[in-house]
Structure 1
Amino acid sequence: MAATIKKASKDLIDEARKWAAMKQTGVSLRYMTEFGSRPTPRNLLISAQFLHKELPIRVARRAVELESLPYGLSLKPAVLKVRDWYLESFRDIRYFPEIKDNIDELDFTQMIKMVKVRHNNVVPMMALGVQQLKKDLNPKIVYEDLDEIHQFLDRFYMSRIGIRMLIGQHVALHDPDPPPDCVGYIHTKMSPVEVARSASEDARSICLQEYGSAPDINIYGDPKLTFPYVPTHLHLMVFELVKNSLRAVQEQYMDSDKVAPPVRIIVADGLEDVTIKVSDEGGGIARSGLSKIFTYLYSTAKNPLDDQSDVDPETATTMAGYGYGLPISRLYARYFGGDLQIISMEGYGTDAYLHLSRLGDSQEPLP
């Protein structure tokens, strides 16, 4: 396949450049919910026709951007591989015939399902590319100064969240027996307290595996509070924050006789936002280190890519280590109009504030 990409690449890249210049069309959580709540054959056809036009623009933008990254990042073997995946996907979607009826729609749905699978490994593969770059860079370069690379990765991963959301949502609307209150990926009555509970149990079991013990986690908030959101997104974000807190507390109290203090999760219901605060007493982060926590070139944990060639990138657990958990969690929060802030008291602990917009009407941020 890669050989055919190389042969066809001149024409294909020219075509991708043409499409990359076209305007993207954002959708909101509210629109996805309203549209998807009636997955009639006609609506599925309209959805497929929209994706047939929209996906090639978004995929082409990323393929073209992967061609011209600074510091020679575009030439790293891992990045070339990712670029080939994007070009293949652009070709598959772009040259899929016009979607005229529901038979075409089902064929198209199968094809974009394959596209989504092809891109499963993009995050670890890009992480590998960045690592290949770090090995070659002058050691005197301060990683936080590599702004262009950070901005590129923010755009790249935000776009990936959007592409996967659109494909996943369309595919999920074909489920003949959807779970109650679910519209594709969106749960119209999601309980943030319940999702936080499940994500923190997952994080705690990983901490137990790694250290043999784990601090308690106390959750405060009304389990009956619900609002429309994507549970898998929230699970990923809370898992990451709690995992970081557990690790900080565990390492702070490892050689101490004192009982490790619990990690506290507070869920607050506001008019505009539902906010989840994850608080720990794990010693905090020095102010000089705070600027680094949202960069893609910094991690305090051992990198899983160093000793595992076949990590499963879709399980959030492997996010420990490539230093991508926090910046990617912040992108997930911002994708639907929220945000993630980290406030630290060095010598005491860290508070992470995860703001989720409960209005659901902000457009996707389109990089």
Structure 2
Amino acid sequence: MAVKKAAECSSKALAEEVHRWGAMKQNGVSLRYMMEFGARPTEKNLLLSAQFLHKELPVRIARRAIELESRPFGLSQKPAVLKVRDWYLESFRDIRSFPDIKDSNDEVAFTQMIKMIKVRHNNVVPAMALGVQQLKRDINCKVVSELEEIHRFLDRFYMSRIGIRMLIGQHVALHDPDPEPGCIGQINTRLSPMQVARTASEDARSICFREYGSAPDVNIYGDPNFTFPYVPSHLHLMVFELVKNSLRAVQERFMDSDKDVPPVRIIVADGIEDVTIKISDEGGGIARSGLPKIFTYLYSTAKNPLDENYEGVSDGVTMAGYGYGLPISRLYARYFGGDLQIISMEGYGTDAYLHLSRLGDSQEPLP
């Protein structure tokens, strides 16, 4: 009985602390600030970075934990969502119980801990997707607009997750004793969008091959010498997702046709404010009535790959099927001040415009 009472007290104290921290102000950073700060990863700078994260991460994590408790339609009670909430509470507890960071030994220990937190949260996206699928099944909802509140929540939730993982990943990467030339943490100051487009296209084509036995060609146009500062993993994820969608559309449209299969075309344009990557296909396009749905988390034209067992699914897994690729890609674009637009000609094909801000000084959008 005493043990039970102690556990109740401790969980009540944790809940109160989570709500106290969740009410605090978040502090956003810009890509430019991350580059300037990380360009000199001295012991002092790493200490300052760790001290900032020690205060900032609990605020962001607490806000998400609170939101996970109060979702409508019973989403908060779905087992997969409860598991995600527990991960956030555990991470909050870990950081809050870590003492003040005073020297480099503390900083190294803190870095190891947040590295483990990042790994703990690897499966958040598929777990949340599973919770939403269960919700859709339970309420048999045909009208997506009824779930508008869920969609807005997921936008906030995933945008915050991108920010948390970027901050942790950047701090951890600054410890790399042998960084690649031009790299500051996770940011490549001389990133070639042409090179990323090539790699992402090959990855998408190999998945298309695996699924259909063949894949359309991808032609890439632009200046091969052009570079700009960006996070390679973010750009790869967005281009991979868009090319994968295009390949699937073209492949399925021309599967039983004796016509030549048209290639997917990627154009990289270097503007003064934006770098724009346009991905065009002749996959038949999307009906105008379907366009508003493509950025919701509750719509997908692919078969659903999710089942009850999402353990072991990592961020690297293909997103096709649970309708998350496009909305999450748009959040990645917006995280550093860019955007993603889809323009479609039904009966012909689709153009995706990925706008990436090259100024790098827009603040993180903090939900």
Q: Distance in 2 between matches of 1:253 and 1:296?
A: 28
* Unaligned stretches of 5+ residues in structure 1: none
8 Å CA contact 1:296–1:324 kept in 2: the answer is yes
Q: Distance in 2 between matches of 1:316 and 1:226?
A: 28
Q: Distance in 2 between matches of 1:48 and 1:102?
A: 10
Deviation at 1:13, TM superposition (A): 1.2
8 Å CA contact 1:5–1:87 kept in 2: the answer is no
* Unaligned stretches of 5+ residues in structure 2: none
Identify the residue that residue 292 of structure 2 maps to in structure 1: 291
Identity percentage over the alignment? 79
Deviation at 1:131, TM superposition (A): 1.1
Over aligned residues, Cα RMSD in angstroms? 1.4
SS at 1:24 equivalent: coil
8 Å CA contact 2:126–2:310 kept in 1: the answer is no
Cα deviations by residue, 1:267-308 (Å, 9 ceiling, x for unpaired):
000000000000000000000100110000111111111386
Cα deviations by residue, 1:233-267 (Å, 9 ceiling, x for unpaired):
00000000000000000000001000110000000
Q: Distance in 2 between matches of 1:264 and 1:5?
A: 59
8 Å CA contact 1:284–1:349 kept in 2: the answer is yes
Identify the residue that residue 231 of structure 1 maps to in structure 2: 232
8 Å CA contact 2:123–2:311 kept in 1: the answer is no
Q: Distance in 2 between matches of 1:114 and 1:13?
A: 22
Deviation at 1:6, TM superposition (A): 7.2
8 Å CA contact 1:236–1:316 kept in 2: the answer is no
Q: Distance in 1 between matches of 2:26 and 2:151?
A: 22
Alignment of 1:242-253 (within 5 A): 242-253=243-254
TM-score between both structures, scaled by the size of structure 1: 0.97
SS at 2:69 equivalent: coil
Identify the residue that residue 334 of structure 1 maps to in structure 2: 334
Q: Say which of 57, 66, 69 aligns to 2:68.
A: 66
8 Å CA contact 1:144–1:292 kept in 2: the answer is no
What letter matches 2:86 in structure 1? Answer: D
8 Å CA contact 1:144–1:297 kept in 2: the answer is no
SS at 1:352 equivalent: strand
Identify the residue that residue 108 of structure 2 maps to in structure 1: 106
Counterparts in 2 of 1:292 and 1:238: CA distance versus 1, 3 Å: same
Q: Distance in 1 between matches of 2:308 and 2:160?
A: 29
Counterparts in 2 of 1:97 and 1:182: CA distance versus 1, 3 Å: same
Cα deviations by residue, 1:120-163 (Å, 9 ceiling, x for unpaired):
000000001111111210x3541233111000000000000000
SS at 2:279 equivalent: strand
Identify the residue that residue 79 of structure 2 maps to in structure 1: 77
What letter matches 1:176 in structure 2? Answer: P
8 Å CA contact 1:128–1:305 kept in 2: the answer is yes
What letter matches 1:326 in structure 2? Answer: L
What letter matches 2:269 in structure 1? Answer: A
Q: Distance in 1 between matches of 2:310 and 2:157?
A: 23
Q: Distance in 1 between matches of 2:238 and 2:257?
A: 30
What letter matches 1:165 in structure 2? Answer: M
Identify the residue that residue 357 of structure 2 maps to in structure 1: 357
What letter matches 2:28 in structure 1? Answer: G
Identify the residue that residue 259 of structure 1 maps to in structure 2: 260
Deviation at 1:8, TM superposition (A): 3.2
Deviation at 1:314, TM superposition (A): 1.7
Counterparts in 2 of 1:253 and 1:311: CA distance versus 1, 3 Å: farther
8 Å CA contact 1:5–1:84 kept in 2: the answer is no
Moved over 6 A (4+): 3-7
2:131 pairs with 1:129:
yes
